[in-house]
Amino acid sequence: MELKPYQQQVIQHLETFLEYLNQFRSPAKAFNQYWEDQVGNYQVMLDGSTVGMRPYKDNIPGATHIAMKVPTAGGKTFLACQAVHAISKSFDASKPKAVVWLVPWSNLLQQTAGNLSNPIHPYREKLNSLFGNRVEVYEKSQLLQGAGFNPSSVQEQLNIFVFNFSSLRINSRKQDDRKIYQQNGALGPFRNLVDPELVLPDTDETALINVIRSLNPIVIVDESHNAESDLSVEMLKNLNPSFILDLTATPKKNSNIISFVNAMALKKESMVKLPVIVYNHHKKEEVITSALHLQRQLELQAMEEEKITGKYIRPIVLFQAQSNIRGKNNTTFQRIKEQLVQLKIPEEQIKIKVSGLDELKGIDLMTKDCPVRYIITVNALKEGWDCPFAYILASLADKSSAVDVEQILGRVLRQPYVSRHQKQMLNLSFVLSASAKFQATLDNIVKALQNSGFSRDDYVAEEAPEEKLTDDEILQQELFDEPKENNEGKNQEEIDIKAIDFDPGVELTTDEIGNTNSAVKEITKKAETEGSSFEKKANEYSEDNADYLQREMGKQPKPYKIETQFQSLAESIQIPQFYRKVPKEELHDTILFEELAQEDQLLTRNSLLDGFKLSTKSTDIDFDDTSTEVYQVDYNEQKQTATKDKVSSRAKKVLVETILSKPKDKQIREITKLIVGKLGDMTPISHEDITKYVNRVFDNLSNDQVRDIISNEYIYISKIKSKVRELEAEYAKEQFLKLLDTNHIFVKPGFKFRKELTHVSPSSPISKSLYEREGFINNYEQEVIMNIAALDNVLFWHRNLEKGKGFALNGFDSKHYPDFIVYTQNGNLILIETKGDHLDNEESRAKNTLGKRWAEKAGDKYKYFMVFQTKEVPDTYTAKTIIDVIRML
């Protein structure tokens, strides 16, 4: 089981944030800079609205506390497994790898602990692969008994402690009520390892809570929106965490979100059954009739598909019963079961799951021999209950009530087998209702979708045609506004079995079902149309954190179109980019279908690193200034408790002595392993090559140097990574220029302007802009572009966007996005990169070289200019001198 593309992006966001954290050594500075680099400064506007991400909330002092927003069915647990590895890699390798995994309910605890412990479950398989099969999972009872849990085990493996909130969430004045706060002889071996300053007041060193505190654990909070109370905050503080990661579909306002996942990303990867098709009937009998026929239709389609794919699906209906309110003859769950049995539905196919009665206990709904097709509930199927076979939610609430699906709608959204099915209906979910307050019902559906991390765009609704009434019935309703009782004198809220048109003994085809039941025919028609449309949008979906943040901040961002007078011209412009010739035989190794093979491929930096051998490169790295740097960072930036520092220094001391006790060659291997493990992904350099290189860097280490590396590891990591990237850049540039001169790299039209753009922070209006509004421009950039726009020969200008949204000069360095694109009356297209005078450095010189070579190859009508404020730098211009140059174009 591998990460889906959107999950990979989430982990990439986490790893990027961890890099900021290692750089700034302060969660607040890391978080604020992480978002500022993506969407600009946080600002409160005059109308009270905001732009950018609001500053970091220090919820648990002494711990980094961040959140990931992932919708229901987005694979939060699998993401958490990968996240634990990423976080562990960025931390001190000498620390025990302890994880407290918190879940809100006991049923979710059993599910999570069972899956993490099961050696053949994908979650455990992933953990084993990431941590070399050195993983142990404990529940509270095992920890209290010291079963397999001792000072040696916490140093040698990843230790995951699974708790539900209620096990730890306790008022400090009532600690004696919980065993984890009590003295524990089974944990006596930990007594000497627990720092006395970490012991909670009125507790013993051997109390489980103090052992956990001494481990300074990573804390994973599943469904974290349930952990916002004062007691929950106290619970987290008591754990003395080093890092807290919240996983939720609905983060609270004080959450420090580093990554958003959109519903479209889940649909694109076939994780969810969207959109939700909502159909409102006139009567509850019609709801039951439609649900039974729709279930049969879906099952017939599933049987047909199984013959082709081998994947078994048994669609399930969730009947949501009205709670039994005293004084009213409401439909209750027991009565619904009786009525379904009266319809000759086998009783074994019907189960009740409500508070106090769980007929699903011990049943595996996913097995072929399971007969269950109908589950009756009120709201007991909350988070933590997952069955992808649940397709239909049929509400049997009073007609006068708005349908409340807030608790259980998310239970029908998970897609079986996480794959697209050939039958479109099997890719969707359904809500059937009979409510006179349909708009209020839809509002509740939106709320339920939002609670699962989705939006109002993820459902489509249809109502049954207006009921045909006799003249007497119309007069009765219009004049007296009272429901008419039927001939038998039954209350209208009672279900009339005779009015349900369904016979399980009669075999029908899918077409016959549609012809038999008009509502199902309409639902099917709507589903086929809307499902295809939604799927198309999902396949075209592409979004990053910045786009999603715009919506999260409130209003849908306004799209800015190309100005009318430039639309025709802009559509005709294709800006050249670098491509490379790829031999067909090389393509055949990587392209599955030969007809898709292309000789010309857009140039990437990694393609220029073919043949790069790190083993032959220089290991000359200056580490002399590391101690001073670390002292200043720790003293000025890091805001941590004294006790936490003591734990870290004690652990480092143990690690130093352990390594120094080994022979010299093993010392180097241990130090190399420590540093390489924290370098992160160095693609395209293999793990083996980077290990050999670091081993060479650390050849002939003295004991003092070993101590210094362990104490100041992040400085060493940073310097080694910078050196490797520098060596890569030199090689890539050399290859680029050689391949360019030999015509193996060339330019051809590649980039087209988007029809419209959205901006987190639009710039002020400036004349001749290509779009109605352009993206954010700082003061120096604004000065330059205003002077350029004032020139008579300039037709239009555009603020080029970064991060994959704008035009990229792709070459030997990472992608270069010039600041402005200017187009003149004579048809000249000019790229302008503005630079402050302090940025006269190697990176700027490399970008200038790339830009000049691009312009040279693209042709006479294409120009590239780097513009410094006032500093005169060879082969560039200043803000003043560039004006005369552009005037002549």
Per the domain annotation, does 444 fall within a domain?
Answer: yes
CB 316 within 8 A of CB 391: yes
Report the SS3 class of residue 320: strand
Per the domain annotation, does 162 fall within a domain?
Answer: yes
pLDDT of residue 92: 64
Residues 496 and 359 placed together within one structural domain of the fold: yes
Per the domain annotation, does 664 fall within a domain?
Answer: yes
Residues 637 and 564 placed together within one structural domain of the fold: no
Question: In terms of Cα–Cα distance, which of 522, 531, 299, 318 is closest to 427?
Answer: 531
Q: Does the pTM exceed 0.75?
A: no
Domain that holds residue 687: 614-723
Report the SS3 class of residue 158: strand
CB neighbours (10 Å) of residue 346? 12
Q: Could you give the angle at the alpha carbon of 395 between the alpha carbons of 389 and 400, nearest 5°?
A: 170
Which tens digit of pLDDT belongs to each residue from 94-141?
677 889 998 887 777 888 888 899 988 888 888 888 888 889 999 888
Residues 711 and 804 placed together within one structural domain of the fold: no
Residues 352 and 483 placed together within one structural domain of the fold: yes
Per the domain annotation, does 590 fall within a domain?
Answer: no
Question: What span, in angstroms and rounded, lies between the C-alpha atoms of 388 and 656?
Answer: 51
**Strand-strand pairing, 862-868 and 350-354:** unpaired
Residues 64 and 124 placed together within one structural domain of the fold: yes
Which tens digit of pLDDT belongs to each residue from 416-432?
888 888 888 999 989 88
Residues 392 and 513 placed together within one structural domain of the fold: yes
Q: Tokens for 706?
A: 């070993």
Residues 108 and 243 placed together within one structural domain of the fold: yes
Low-confidence ranges of the chain (pLDDT < 50): 172, 176, 326-330, 481-492, 555, 587-598, 626-648
Per the domain annotation, does 28 fall within a domain?
Answer: no
Q: Which of 204, 236, 260 is the last residue of a domain?
A: 260
Per the domain annotation, does 34 fall within a domain?
Answer: no
Q: What's 90's domain CATH number? A: 3.40.50
pLDDT of residue 531: 81
pLDDT of residue 295: 93
pLDDT of residue 565: 93
Task: Say how many domains are in the chain.
Answer: 4
Residues 401 and 521 placed together within one structural domain of the fold: yes
Q: Mention every residue, 6+ apart, whose C-beta is less than 8 A from residue 534.
A: 267, 274, 275
Per the domain annotation, does 684 fall within a domain?
Answer: yes
Burial class of 802 by CB neighbour count within 10 A (0 to 12, 13 to 18, 19+): middle
pLDDT of residue 730: 87
Residues 183 and 223 placed together within one structural domain of the fold: yes
Q: Which of 210, 227, 260 is the last residue of a domain?
A: 260
Per the domain annotation, does 828 fall within a domain?
Answer: yes
Residues 85 and 231 placed together within one structural domain of the fold: yes
Residues 285 and 384 placed together within one structural domain of the fold: yes
Residues 88 and 155 placed together within one structural domain of the fold: yes
CB 48 within 8 A of CB 206: no
